[in-house]
A and B are shown apart, each in its own frame.
Chain A
Amino acid sequence: MTASLEVSGLAFAYPDGHQALFGVDLTIGRGERVALLGPNGAGKTTLVLHLNGILTGGAGTVTVAGLPVDKRNMAEIRRKVGIVFQDPDDQLFMPTVREDVAFGPAAAGLKGAELEDRVRKALALVGMEEFADRPPHHLSFGQRRRVAVATVLAMEPEILVLDEPSSNLDPASRRELADILRSLDVTVLMVTHDLPYALELCPRSLILSEGVIAADGPTGDLLTDEDLMRAHRLELPFGFDPASVAR
């Protein structure tokens, strides 16, 4: 079985000279749900932008479902890697929810009934069908985040990458999103500071620190390793004990 995502030796510096990645290696199998943890400035977002080829040109390779990320198969890669950005207002740029969800598939050449079908299915997956004709900025933040997930699901991606999916969500929206993510049959890579959320959703976690993968293992094991956590500026919320959570 080919892995959904393989990254090896990935290094990258921004044009202003700031180097963010120093040789990242990771493999994610098909259907896995993996959390990518790390302090601010660890290079998480830079790594994410490499996964669909928005950033390229450093050292190392990224392979999605056996397909190397390079200029020749960029269109294919962007269909396979669905990124949900942190701020849904960045992601939802079309005048109505329906058009926004249709944007990706339509850019890929889908039309007519097939396109309609995709849009309906994606909105159904996140429970937002009845909002299809509303403008995105009239929705609540949690609803917008769900629509943002739908815009990506409509492209039927190989791997779903979420940047801080739980940020700014109230507890109910946070749980609703967790239910949606659990119900999906797709590989998930979730970038987050929300350690309980990672523990709840992802059996496996990676810690990205100073531009390299510093740890890789079962989420529960990483979160209970106090030395490791302290070394990478990761802190559990007050009163939260990962050992006590039934898994």
Chain B
Amino acid sequence: MHVPDGFINAPVSAAAGVVAAGAVAVSLRGARRELDERTAPLAGLVAAFIFAVQMLNFPVAAGTSGHLLGGALAAILVGPYTGVLCVSVVLLMQGVLFADGGLTALGVNITDMAITTTVVAYLVFRGLVKVLPRSRRSITVASFVASLLSVPAAAIVFTLLYAIGGTTDVSIGKVATAMVGVHVLIGIGEAVITALTVGAVVAVRPDLVYGARGLQQKLKLRVGGELVDAAPDTPAAAPVAAPVAARSHRKIWVIGLVTSLVLAGFVSFYASANPDGLEKVAHDKGIDSKTEEHASADSPLADYGVKDVTDARLSGGLAGVIGVGVTVVAGSAVFWALRRRRTSEPTSTEIRTQQSV
């Protein structure tokens, strides 16, 4: 599903870039809360893991094979924020190093493959874990459903982006059918492997499954041969960070809200600037019944009337310029804010480090 350059038009790519930058910025904060100064090494290793796992091809029907996307797996194992970061870094490196996925399409790729999969999978997973009885089997079942849904969800988001800014004239219905159809199949493979992987991890190191932290038992400390409840401030050797479930829910809402606001803004902006999309659908509907007639009609280029072209070009170009401008402004705002926060933060980081050590 790695989208190349030129597949989605410039304004929508730029809008997706803004969404991606915003989500990554939020995830950077969130991941620091999940992992504090262990963020870089652990997220880096998990990213390397996702990268390796994407090489794990599993045989699907008829001699073809699919490979894991890994978003759901990352979200369940290391939490949604770290998950978004890991998959985004994998995508960034694939784009820059292997030319797999276009540079201008990076926002689109991150939005559908990193953000959509992790957020959908994590929400579904947490929801199911709340509803299902507290057991390991429930974790496995929840992982299965979560990753099963996450892949078609990514396909749907891709279709949406395509519907708004696709540069080709294939009808949305066809794209949606093809994308969702194929990805339901891939989703099944992804779901089986994710569920079994999570199951295997839960069986050996349940403490490593971020989404299953509620299942942990209370810790004890043996002092002088007697069992004593571990004091809450006992420094932990294992990576037992305090669960942030309560907070993360609010965070997810905030991300969702911001994302939809940004998206909505851009969608309406784009829809009003270029009503082609709507016209096209109407046009297509009329065309279906009389294809032959059209095929034998005028010269093929007749459709590109000068008036239409200039209009479309102007509006499209304007949209492009505005879109790119907004990306630059928003991107630098995010980075500026991050940098400022970082420089004003060393004291609190230091304190946190000492507590966690």
Q: Check A-B contact in the complex, CB < 8 A.
A: yes
Which of A's residues lie within 8 Å of B, judged by CB? 11, 13-17, 19, 49, 53-57, 59, 71, 74, 93
Chain A CB within 8 A of B227 CB:
yes
Q: Please, how many angstroms separate the alpha-carbon atoms of A240 and B222 in the complex? A: 40
Offer 7 A-B interface pairs, CB within 8 angstroms, sorted by A.
Answer: A11-B223, A13-B221, A14-B238, A15-B219, A17-B222, A54-B237, A55-B237
Give the Cβ gap from A42 to chain B, nearest Cβ, in Å. Answer: 17
Chain A CB within 8 A of B234 CB:
yes
Known: A59-B223, A93-B41. A15 touches B354 (CB 8 A): no
Known: A15-B230, A17-B227, A74-B354. A56 touches B235 (CB 8 A): yes
In the bound complex, residues from chain A placing their C-beta under 8 Å from that of B227 are 17
B132-163: CB near A (< 8 Å → 1, else 0) gives 00000000000000000000000000000000
Interface of chain B, main secondary structure: loop
Q: Please, how many angstroms separate the alpha-carbon atoms of A54 and B235 in the complex? A: 9
- Interface pair B219/A17, CB less than 8 Å apart: yes
Size of B's binding interface in residues, CB under 8 A: 16
- Interface pair B237/A14, CB less than 8 Å apart: yes
List residues 206-255 of chain B with CB under 8 A from any CB of chain A. 219-223, 227, 230, 234-238, 240
Q: Please, how many angstroms separate the alpha-carbon atoms of A16 and B227 in the complex? A: 12
Q: Please, how many angstroms separate the alpha-carbon atoms of A71 and B221 in the complex? A: 21
Q: Which of A11, A54, A57, A71 contacts B234 (CB 8 A)?
A: A57
Shortest 5 CB-CB distances between A and B: which pairs?
Answer: A19-B222, A15-B219, A57-B235, A17-B220, A13-B222
- Interface pair B222/A16, CB less than 8 Å apart: no
In the bound complex, residues from chain B placing their C-beta under 8 Å from that of A15 are 219, 221, 230, 234, 236-238, 240
In the bound complex, residues from chain A placing their C-beta under 8 Å from that of B220 are 17
In the bound complex, residues from chain B placing their C-beta under 8 Å from that of A14 are 237-238
- Interface pair B223/A13, CB less than 8 Å apart: yes
Chain A CB within 8 A of B357 CB:
yes
In the bound complex, residues from chain A placing their C-beta under 8 Å from that of B354 are 71, 74
Q: Please, how many angstroms separate the alpha-carbon atoms of A59 and B354 in the complex? A: 19
